[in-house]
Amino acid sequence: MVIDLGVLDNHLGYFIRRIQVWVFQDFIRCLSPIDISPAQFSVLVIIGANEGLSQSELAATLGIERARLVRMLHQLDRRGLTERLPSSADGRRHALRLTRAGQTTLKQAKALAAQHETNLQPKLGADRYRLLLDALRDA
Amino acid sequence: MVIDLGVLDNHLGYFIRRIQVWVFQDFIRCLSPIDISPAQFSVLVIIGANEGLSQSELAATLGIERARLVRMLHQLDRRGLTERLPSSADGRRHALRLTRAGQTTLKQAKALAAQHETNLQPKLGADRYRLLLDALRDA
DNA sequence: CGAAAATTGTTGTCGAGGTCAACAATGCCG
DNA sequence: CGGCATTGTTGACCTCGACAACAATTTTCG
């Protein structure tokens, strides 16, 4: 049962979609011990590397809606991983921070995510992996 | 306001996700005149290139759930683009086909999708575009 | 200064998609 | 024939993106 992909074979979006699903599934599997999704991981990483930034800045950096971020932070707050402090300068803003528990979880998440990233290289071929990472980072 | 991506800078999944969103948005924009989503386009293309195949085969090829495909086909049927004929050999199967209208719409969709694909090359750089397409197709 | 406009965080709602369980109809195979 | 697998289908649930609206606050400008 050989099936023809037709013009899909010439569409970058099709292949990007396929590999994206594949990579995310492996990520989710690797991080399942601490129950952190790709989106949650990206939020924790950016807060950890930019303590005190605002929700608008975070949302803009990750390319997600402010409305979406509010609900993600609500979850992370409830899990005790993040907190929103009032910004001294601007009464509208919240200064985002990781709690101690958040820092610990992020450290674990980074270790598991690094393991996931290492998984990818043999599957894709180490050369292709590096090629893709470099090409996409500069894109 | 410069924000540090932290370890995200070393994660392929992050960049794949970013470009996937970007490519799909352009695709949706380009095909908005005929209101065909990326998923619908892939379904029409595969049916067009493999007339008579079954829903299971189609779902497996595109990597989507049978349950999901049923509802997509229901939409496309209602729009008069596809039809499910009883399979002569196997009473369980449906033989999928494009209607005349479906063939016409697919032809238009291919033209618009080709336009979208052409858009991508200057944005990514023509060299990087080809590099990515080749690397992902073989992955 | 003070009114208008912009920003920030928030909530509600809608739709697209993925996931899983269950089911009827049909085919396969010992 | 009788169990077992496959196929299409439906229902339910969840995540996520997109929009609209809103209150509180800040900024801008006449």
pLDDT, one tens digit per residue, over A56-108 is 999 999 999 999 999 999 999 999 999 999 988 899 999 999 999 999 999 99
CA distance A74 to A104: 19
Backbone angles phi, psi at B128, to 5 degrees: -65, -35
User: Using CB atoms within 10 A of its CB, is residue A102 exposed (0-12), middle (13-18) or buried (19+)?
Assistant: buried
Radius of gyration of chain A (CA): 18
| Residue ranges of chain B with per-residue pLDDT less than 70 | 1
Find the mean pLDDT for residues A30-44: 96
Output the pLDDT for position A139.
78
A57 CA to centre of own chain = 16
Q: Which of residues 17-56 of B touch A (CB under 8 A)?
A: 17-21, 23-24, 27, 38, 42, 45-46, 48-50, 53
Nearest nucleotide to B66, CA against C1' atoms: D8
Q: Which of A1, A10, A12 to mutate to test the interface with B (most CBs of B within 10 A)?
A: A12
pLDDT band at A46 (very low <50, low <70, confident <90, very high): very high
CB count within 10 Å of CB B99 equals 15
CA distance A49 to B58: 44
Tokens of B29: 């924009």
Interface membership of A61 toward B (CB under 8 Å): yes
Residue (of A58, A32, A56, A65) closest to A43 by Cα position: A58
On the question of pLDDT at A131 being above 70, the answer is yes
Output the pLDDT for position A88.
84
On the question of pLDDT at A31 being above 90, the answer is yes
Output the pLDDT for position A1.
67
User: What are chain B's domains?
Assistant: 14-137 (1.10.10.10)
End-to-end Cα distance, chain A: 37
Taking an 8 Å cut-off on Cβ atoms, the answer to whether B12 and A57 are in contact is no
Output the pLDDT for position B118.
95
CA distance B81 to A58: 42
The pTM for the full model equals 0.93
Output the pLDDT for position A81.
97
User: What's the sign of the alpha-carbon dihedral A73, A75, A80, A85?
Assistant: positive
Output the pLDDT for position B130.
95
SS3 B85: strand
SS3 B66: helix
On the question of pLDDT at A134 being above 70, the answer is yes
Tokens of B86: 């009883």
A114-126 burial: b if 16+ Cβ within 10 Å, else e:
eebbeebeeebee
CA distance A28 to A99: 23
